[in-house]
Amino acid sequence: MVEKLIKKAEVLLEALPYIRKFRGQTFVIKYGGSAMVNEELRETFARDVVLLKLVGINPVIVHGGGKHINEMLKKLGISVEFVGGLRKTTEEVMHIVEMVLSGDINKDIVALINKHSGEKIYAVGLSGRDGRLLKAKKIDSSYFSEKLGIKPPSGDIGLVGEVERVNTEPIKTLLEKNYIPVIAPIGVGERGEAYNINADIAAAEVAKALRAEKLIYLTDTEGVKDKNGNLIKKLKDTQVEELIKDGTIGGGMIPKVRSAVSALKGGVGKVHIIDGRLSHSILLEIFTDEGVGTEITLKGD
């Protein structure tokens, strides 16, 4: 019994220098995958975010929701169509995307965090359209496809956007008032139209604009793996394109690592790609010496 208590104390002591180091810093967390649908993981995610806030770190959440969107479209009898790997977003589909992301999912995450937050710490939901938070334009599909590592679409993909500018004022105001911002990746165009934004890239743009200390991607894999399936614990930005070219990094990991490099070059301190299927993975990556995922930094850091 005493040995167990000593081990608990050792864990706290290991976390202490990291708590000191990161106090007052901003962490942007991209929330998606299994961590959003498994009930136990949802609860631990919410508690972990509240703990970050309690120890003086400023978490900002940017969430996805592709699975939920697909389910809603199917329920409504609307075809789910992808062109070159990008969701074809007609006006009808955009309406559903916004309803699911800014409505159901965003408010559910906010409620979950508030359930565990107690007094004086609250989550607040935002759409990228609120306060023109994510100013966007229709994507240059060829450039965007290259960035995502997918085949360029052969036809029009509709209201899929890319972020031109992040209005940080609403986010900073909330952080100053001790709130936790939860952002749905919906962009707003010049005429007020809505755009569907890739959540990985939206998170990177938010992290850059805030000059965040960390950008953390919760995924459904341990992190970036080598060709033998072993976790790569540390990765430099200069290695990323090499690993994409030789096929080590592929599929859905490509937009994450390219967004990571973009974030680092834009002023973000470090990027972490971690397994959202692991309970308390955020705390284990940030507050332990060993970590549990892949840490990406600039060459020379």
Q: Report the binding-site residues.
A: 65-66, 87, 196
Q: Which of 245, 253, 113 lies closest to 182 in space, CA to CA?
A: 113
Neighbouring residues of 290: CB distance < 8 A, sequence distance ≥ 6: none
Q: Binding-site residues for substrate, please?
A: 65-66, 87, 196
The full DSSP string for 221-286 is: SSS-B-TTS-B--EEEHHHHHHHHHTTSS-TTHHHHHHHHHHHHHTT-SEEEEEETTSTTHHHHHH
Which residues are bridge partners to 296 per DSSP?
A: 235, 271
